[in-house]
C-alpha cells in the first residue's frame, strides 16, 4: 500500500540565524512522490565509506580468530564487538607492501600510516620534498565527493604535523597524516569535536557562523532553538515515519551538544582553580574524546554531510600511556615487547580499549534507522593498522576489520582468510568500485578483493 508524500531534497537543511542542520535520510527523500515498497528497495540511502587507523600494530594471538567462515569465535581483543559480529568481517592475510623498507632502513611506523590508505611507498625525507600517493578516500572524494556538503572529513585524536623529523629520518608529515589529496598534499585532520560540530551545523558563511556562535553564547541557547520555526514547518510536510526519524535525530544532536558543553569546562582542583590548560571542546580523557569524535562521525554520515571519512586514534609510533587501563608504559615502547608476556598483556589491553571505542561507533551507527535498515547497514567501515606485530614491524597478515553491509554489497559475519601477501589495496579497489568510482586499479592492487559479496 502506498501513500502520498512530499518529495524533499537530500540536501534539505533546517535554517535559522546562521545555523544549518542537515536532515537524516527519510522516506520523503526517495525520488518519487508515491512511496512504495518497490521504490524503497531501488532508491535507498547512499553508500558510505570510512577508515579508522590504530598505531603500533596489535597483539595478534588475542586478535586473530582460529576458525574461518561464519562459525568463528571472537578472540579476547575483539570481544567488545560481539553484538556486532553479524555485521562484521575479520579479514586476515592482507599486506601493505608500500610500508616495507625497500632499502630505506628504519621508519616502519611512518611508512605504515603513510601507506595505509595510499598503498604507496613514501619518499624517505624529513625535509620539504615529501612524496607519497593519493589515498583511497581522496580518490573517492574526487569522483563522488561533489554529492555532499563536504567531499570528505579527516578526523583524529592527535593533531597533524606539517614538518619536523619523527621516525628514523621520515618527516612528521608522514607519521601524522593518512589522507593525501595528491603525492605532496596531506589532508590535516580535525581533533576538536566542538569544531567538527560547529562545522557540521553552522551556517554557510563565516559571518553567519560567528554571529550565531556569539548569540548562542550570549543567551546560552541550543542551535536547535534557532531552527525551531523551520522544523515546525517541515514537520507539516512529513509522514509519521519521517517525523519520528527527525525527532530522534534532533534529540541526538541536542544530546551531543550538551556533552560538548560539558567537555569545554576545565577540571578544577580542591581550591577551585583549573589544574591544567586545554583547548575548548577537547576532553582530557581519551575515552571521552574518542566517543565524542565517534558521535561526530555518526552525525556527519547520518546527515549525508559527507560519505567519505577517515579517523586516526593517534599518530604513528605513538608512545602514549593508558593509566586508566593500568598501563603506565608508553604504547610504542610496549610494542617492542621482545616476547615479554607482561608487555604483550599490556598491549592487548590497549588494543581492546581501541576496539571498545570502535564498538561504541558501531553502537551509534546501528541505532540510527535508515531506509529498510540502519545507518551501519549502508556503510563500509575499515578498522586496522599498517603494522601487524609491533615487535616484528611486519606489514603482512594485517589486523583488518570491515564493518557494515555496504547497502547490500557485503555478506558480513565472517572470518575470511586470504592468501598471505594479498594486497590490502585489493580491498580498497573493491570499495571504490562500490562507491561508483571509475577505477580499475589502486596502489599495488592486483584485482578487486574477492569473497566479500
Interval 218-260: pLDDT, tens: 444 555 555 555 556 666 666 666 666 666 666 566 665 666 5
Residue spans of the domains in the chain: they are: 45-190+282-434
pLDDT digits (tens, 9 = 90+) for 74-102: 999 999 999 999 999 999 999 999 999 99
Whether residue 264 has pLDDT greater than 70 = no
Q: Using a pLDDT cut of 90, give the percent of the chain over it.
A: 65
User: Is a pLDDT exceeding 90 seen at residue 355?
Assistant: yes
Provide mean pLDDT across the span 22-37.
Answer: 48
Distance CA(313)–CA(32), nearest Å, equals: 41
CA distance 270 to 273: 7
- Quote the cell numbers at residue 276: 591544567
Alpha helices in 35-86 (DSSP H): 37-42
CATH class of 45-190+282-434: alpha beta
CA dist list (Å): 368 to 43, 248, 299: 18, 9, 10
pLDDT of residue 284: 87
- 331 near 322, Cβ under 8 Å? yes
Q: What is the mean pLDDT of residues 179-208?
A: 82
Q: Which three cell numbers stand for residue 17?
A: 540565524
What is the pLDDT, as a whole number, of residue 43?
A: 60
pTM: 0.79
According to the model, what pLDDT value does residue 132 have?
98
Each residue of 124-176: pLDDT tens digit?
999 999 999 999 999 999 999 988 889 999 999 999 988 899 999 999 999 99
Question: 209 with 20: CB under 8 angstroms?
Answer: no
Mean pLDDT (whole number) for 41-56: 86
Which DSSP string corresponds to 244-285? Answer: HHHHHHHHHHHHHHHHHHHHTSPPB-TTS-B-S---TT--SS
In this prediction, residues 298-320 reach a mean pLDDT of 94
pLDDT at 63 over 90: yes
For residue 13, pLDDT over 70 is answered with no
| Cβ count near 324 (within 10 Å) | 10
User: What does the pLDDT look like over 213-228, one tens digit per residue?
Assistant: 554 444 445 555 555 5
182 pLDDT more than 90 = yes
SS3 track for 174-220: HHHCCCEEECCEECCCECCHHHHHHHHHECCCHHHHHHHHHHHHHHC
The residue among 384 and 214 whose pLDDT is bigger is 384
Amino acid at each position: 500500500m502506498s501513500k502520498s508524500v512530499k518529495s524533499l531534497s537530500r540536501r534539505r537543511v533546517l535554517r535559522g540565524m546562521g545555523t544549518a542542520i542537515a536532515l537524516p535520510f527519510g522516506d520523503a527523500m526517495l525520488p518519487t512522490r508515491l512511496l512504495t515498497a518497490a521504490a524503497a528497495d531501488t532508491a535507498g540511502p547512499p553508500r558510505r565509506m570510512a577508515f579508522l587507523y590504530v598505531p603500533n600494530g596489535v597483539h595478534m594471538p588475542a586478535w586473530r580468530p582460529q576458525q574461518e567462515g561464519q562459525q568463528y569465535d571472537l578472540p579476547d581483543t575483539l570481544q567488545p564487538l560481539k553484538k556486532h559480529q553479524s555485521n562484521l568481517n575479520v579479514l586476515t592475510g592482507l599486506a601493505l607492501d608500500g610500508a616495507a623498507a625497500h632499502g630505506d632502513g628504519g621508519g616502519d611506523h611512518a611508512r605504515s600510516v603513510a601507506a595505509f590508505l595510499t598503498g604507496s611507498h613514501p619518499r624517505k625525507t624529513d625535509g620539504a620534498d615529501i612524496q607519497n600517493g593519493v589515498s583511497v578516500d581522496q580518490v573517492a572524494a574526487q569522483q563522488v565527493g561533489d554529492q555532499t556538503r563536504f567531499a570528505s572529513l579527516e578526523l583524529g585524536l592527535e593533531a597533524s604535523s606539517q614538518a619536523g623529523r619523527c621516525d628514523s629520518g621520515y618527516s612528521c608529515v608522514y607519521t601524522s597524516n593518512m589522507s593525501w589529496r595528491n603525492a605532496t598534499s596531506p589532508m590535516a585532520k580535525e581533533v576538536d569535536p566542538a569544531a567538527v560540530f560547529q562545522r557540521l551545523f553552522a551556517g554557510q558563511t563565516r559571518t553567519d557562523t560567528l554571529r550565531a556562535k556569539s548569540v548562542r553564547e550570549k543567551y546560552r541557547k541550543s542551535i536547535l532553538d534557532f531552527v525551531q520555526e523551520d522544523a515546525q514547518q517541515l514537520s507539516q510536510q512529513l509522514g509519521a515515519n519521517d517525523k519520528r526519524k527527525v525527532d530522534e535525530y534532533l534529540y541526538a544532536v541536542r544530546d551531543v551538544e550538551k556533552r560538548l558543553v560539558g567537555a569545554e569546562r576545565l577540571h578544577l582542583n580542591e581550591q577551585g582553580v583549573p589544574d591544567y590548560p586545554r583547548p575548548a571542546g577537547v576532553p582530557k580523557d581519551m575515552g571521552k574524546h574518542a566517543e565524542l569524535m565517534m558521535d561526530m562521525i555518526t552525525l556527519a554520515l547520518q546527515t549525508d554531510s559527507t560519505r567519505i571519512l577517515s579517523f586516526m586514534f593517534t599518530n604513528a609510533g605513538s608512545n602514549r600511556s593508558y593509566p586508566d587501563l593500568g598501563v603506565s608504559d608508553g604504547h610504542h615502547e610496549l610494542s617492542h615487547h621482545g616476547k615479554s608476556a607482561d608487555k604483550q598483556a599490556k598491549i592487548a589491553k590497549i588494543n581492546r580499549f581501541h576496539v571498545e571505542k570502535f564498538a561504541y561507533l558501531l553502537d551509534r551507527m546501528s541505532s540510527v534507522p535508515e531506509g529498510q535498515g540502519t545507518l551501519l547497514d549502508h556503510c563500509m567501515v575499515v578498522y586496522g593498522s599498517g603494522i601487524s606485530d609491533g615487535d616484528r614491524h611486519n606489514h603482512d597478515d594485517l589486523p583488518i576489520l570491515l564493518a557494515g553491509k555496504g547497502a547490500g554489497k557485503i555478506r558480513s559475519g565472517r572470518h575470511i582468510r586470504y592468501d598471505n601477501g594479498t594486497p590490502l589495496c585489493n580491498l580498497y579497489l573493491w570499495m571504490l568500485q562500490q562507491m561508483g568510482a571509475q577505477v580499475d586499479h589502486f596502489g599495488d592492487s592486483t584485482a578487486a578483493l574477492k569473497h566479500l559479496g
